[in-house]
Every structure is written in structure tokens, then in C-alpha cells.
Amino acid sequence: MAVRRRIVARGRVQGVFFRDSTRRKAESLGVSGWARNREDGAVEVVAEGEPDAVEALVDYVRRGPGRAEVSGVDVTEEEPEGLSGFRLG
């Protein structure tokens, strides 16, 4: 059964390859969804897939890639929409 999470990461998360690193991690985990920069400086991620894989991606976003400095993460449960692939917005 698939799950869906909306993840908003705050801190130094733009301009540090956060979205692309998250895409690569999601693809390696078999998670579908998207990632985009927000005007408020945060990065927003939607992830759908197997519960363990989505949770692993949430954990990755909490840490971020090497040059990121994540100061806070909000995670919201949502109903899956049947997304396929992972895109950057």
C-alpha cells in the first residue's frame, strides 16, 4: 500500500543541489513525486511509494545533502494520487 508525504525543508536548502540530490535519492528508493523551491526559501517535496521507502526519503530530507543546513522539516500525510517518476519543479 502506497503512502504520500508532503515535506517542507527550511534552512540553507536552496542553491546546494538539494532538489537534485533528493530526486536521485527518491529514484534509488523507488519513490515517485516532485521537489521544488518555494519563494520563502524552503524546498517542498511530495513523495509517494512504499511506506519504508518514503520514510527513508523523509529521513534523507531531514539531513539534506552535504552542503545543505536543514534547520527544520514539516511532514504532512496526504492521500496518494498514484504519481509515477520524480520531477523537479
Give the catalytic positions in this structure.
19, 37
CA distance 61 to 79: 20
- Candidates 27, 26, 3; CA nearest to 80 is 3
8 A C-beta contact, residue 28 and residue 47: no
